[in-house]
Structure 1
Amino acid sequence: MRGFYSALTALLLVAGCQAKEPPTQVIYRFDDHRYLELKGWDCEGELWYADTLKGIRSQVWSQYYRIFTKKFVHPSERYMAISSWGGGFTVSKDYGQTWVGAHYSPGENEPNGDNRPPYDDILSFTVVNDQGFLQTKHRLYMSSRPFDDPRVLPGGPGIKYRLESGEPDEITPEFPGWPWGLIYFTKEGLEGKVIRHESNYQNLPDKVPEVKGYTGWDHMRCDMDAGRK
């Protein structure tokens, strides 16, 4: 019986450990009132955004989020974009109140035919002036300028243009193409695409804009031993 109770005690201790609430830690600060929290073990789990001035607390990732380990600079407030270790983005266009998935543009953006860069090639991700810029060793990915072309919004006149063959064509409000901020593309990848006729995909920068006076962190931080100390 003594052995039985010893085994039972061990099982209860293990169960108690498993039932322990996962730790929550701040993994990134944009400024003194906006930050990201990760809830989970081993630096993986739910990701939450908080803005104490606006009273916003919203879930960015429901589970399995792993921190982005490259340089991360994010002074932008209205447009927010969070990348993960595995690639891809979750973005908000309303100051962090709601979040949706963003994607790399279709097509062969990389020399090997992929549409996204290998993670090891990524150098930095900067979100400034409501636009995201992912710098890699070989090229620059970015989101569109932070608005939709009014000509393709509901009630707009559309955009008339000519195909390479000289035939007329049109982008209509019924089929406006990519909305702003939800596609990450390269300037080279826009060549030959219809979307380049929209004003928010024109006059794009050739490099990441300079960021001055940023007081937030420049990398995400996470303690692998959180909750075990």
Structure 2
Amino acid sequence: MIVIAFICTLIGGIIFVITLFKPRHKLVQAASYLLFLLGVWAVSPVNNLRQPKVVSPSQVVYRFDENRYLLLTGYRCQGQVYFIDDKEQVYYQLAAHSQRVYTEPYRHPAKNYISVPLADLSAIDTSIDGGRSFKSIELGIGNYLGDHDSPQYDVVNDRAFILAKDGTLFASEQPFGYRGWDMLTKRNQKNKIIGRSQIIPDTIPPIPDDYTGWDKMQCDYDAEDTVLPDNHPLLEVFQQWLGTAN
């Protein structure tokens, strides 16, 4: 395109100069002058100046491994969260609502089973197909954990475990969603809830030694706006920065 613009500029300039000595060709002179100006405009850096698109700050707030991570777009560690798996080309917007980053210890070696809690544990976005779809589950009727009430949240053996500060251990169903969408406790097991013949362990199963993910979500509270070069999509820009673009 630059070569064509340069050729047009050259041809238009030459014809214009020639017509200066032949004033009878006014129309040709005007056309060549216009062609020259268009060529100059096309190759000029001014033509490439576009208003950059500025969006809310975006940052990786959690890494499951080198390919899978959570991307947060928003101010002060609150906003829209996306689950992304670059290797499998999975990009999922977790929820339409805004959410805050979960600040308690959080380890997630599980692969296909994905469990992402809201900051206050009022809901947990859960997937059993590697992040291609999610469903929201809760702690269950009569159970509540507020901010900073959970000393540990681990997702291991395709199951989510939440250890509350009072020692109560919550565990997701196995198989997931067999009869309901709530977390379970020893009390549920004792009451022999129909369809939930689940065995709740006394402690959280150990994390594999080869786990490479983060132990906690991380977020820069003062992150600034993100400027998208050449108006590229936000995801494409972050993949370039992270070195994961195709």
Which residue number in structure 1 is paired with residue 139 of structure 2? 104
Determine the C-alpha separation between the residues in 1 that align with 2:96 and 2:106: 21
- Cα separation, partners in 2 of 1:134 and 1:148, compared to 1, 3 Å: closer
SS in 2 for 1:145: coil
1:130-189: CA deviation from partner (whole Å, max 9, x where unpaired): 10000111211110223576xxxxxxxxxxxxxxxxxxxxxxxxxxx32xxx31121123
- Judge conservation of contact 1:133–1:141 (CA < 8 Å) in 2: yes
In the TM superposition, what is the alpha-carbon distance from 1:198 to its structure 2 partner?
A: 4.1
Which residue number in structure 2 is paired with residue 167 of structure 1? none
Question: TM-score of the superposition, structure 1-length normalised?
Answer: 0.69
SS in 2 for 1:127: strand
Which residue number in structure 2 is paired with residue 217 of structure 1? 214
- Cα separation, partners in 2 of 1:21 and 1:130, compared to 1, 3 Å: same
> Partner letter of residue 140 of structure 1?
L
SS in 2 for 1:189: helix
Matched, 1:79 2:113: yes
In the TM superposition, what is the alpha-carbon distance from 1:36 to its structure 2 partner?
A: 0.4
- Judge conservation of contact 2:54–2:225 (CA < 8 Å) in 1: no
In the TM superposition, what is the alpha-carbon distance from 1:62 to its structure 2 partner?
A: 2.3
Please tell me whether Structure 1 or Structure 2 has the larger radius of gyration of its CA atoms. Answer: 2
In proportion to residue count, which structure has more strand?
1
- Cα separation, partners in 2 of 1:99 and 1:20, compared to 1, 3 Å: same
Which residue number in structure 1 is paired with residue 204 of structure 2? 208
Identity %: 31
SS in 1 for 2:55: coil
Determine the C-alpha separation between the residues in 1 that align with 2:136 and 2:220: 26
- Judge conservation of contact 1:50–1:58 (CA < 8 Å) in 2: yes
Equivalent in 58, 81, 84 of residue 50 of structure 1: 84
1:180-214: CA deviation from partner (whole Å, max 9, x where unpaired): xx31121123322433x544x1x331110000221
- Judge conservation of contact 2:189–2:200 (CA < 8 Å) in 1: no
Determine the C-alpha separation between the residues in 2 that align with 1:148 and 1:90: 13
In the TM superposition, what is the alpha-carbon distance from 1:29 to its structure 2 partner?
A: 0.3
In proportion to residue count, which structure has more helix?
2
Within a 5 Å distance, the mapping from 1:24-43 to structure 2 comes to 24-43=58-77
Equivalent in 159, 165, 178 of residue 137 of structure 1: 165
- Cα separation, partners in 2 of 1:189 and 1:142, compared to 1, 3 Å: same
1:21-71: CA deviation from partner (whole Å, max 9, x where unpaired): 111100000000000000111111110011111110011122311000000
- Judge conservation of contact 1:79–1:94 (CA < 8 Å) in 2: yes
Which residue number in structure 2 is paired with residue 146 of structure 1? 175
Consecutive unaligned residues of structure 1, counting only runs of 5 or more, are 1-15, 109-114, 150-176
> Partner letter of residue 217 of structure 2?
M
Which residue number in structure 1 is paired with residue 130 of structure 2? 95
- Judge conservation of contact 2:69–2:83 (CA < 8 Å) in 1: yes
Determine the C-alpha separation between the residues in 2 that align with 1:32 and 1:47: 18
Determine the C-alpha separation between the residues in 2 that align with 1:129 and 1:70: 20
Equivalent in 146, 159, 179 of residue 118 of structure 1: 146
Determine the C-alpha separation between the residues in 2 that align with 1:136 and 1:143: 14
Determine the C-alpha separation between the residues in 2 that align with 1:40 and 1:132: 27
- Cα separation, partners in 2 of 1:215 and 1:116, compared to 1, 3 Å: same
- Cα separation, partners in 2 of 1:148 and 1:223, compared to 1, 3 Å: closer
> Partner letter of residue 207 of structure 1?
T
- Cα separation, partners in 2 of 1:81 and 1:148, compared to 1, 3 Å: closer
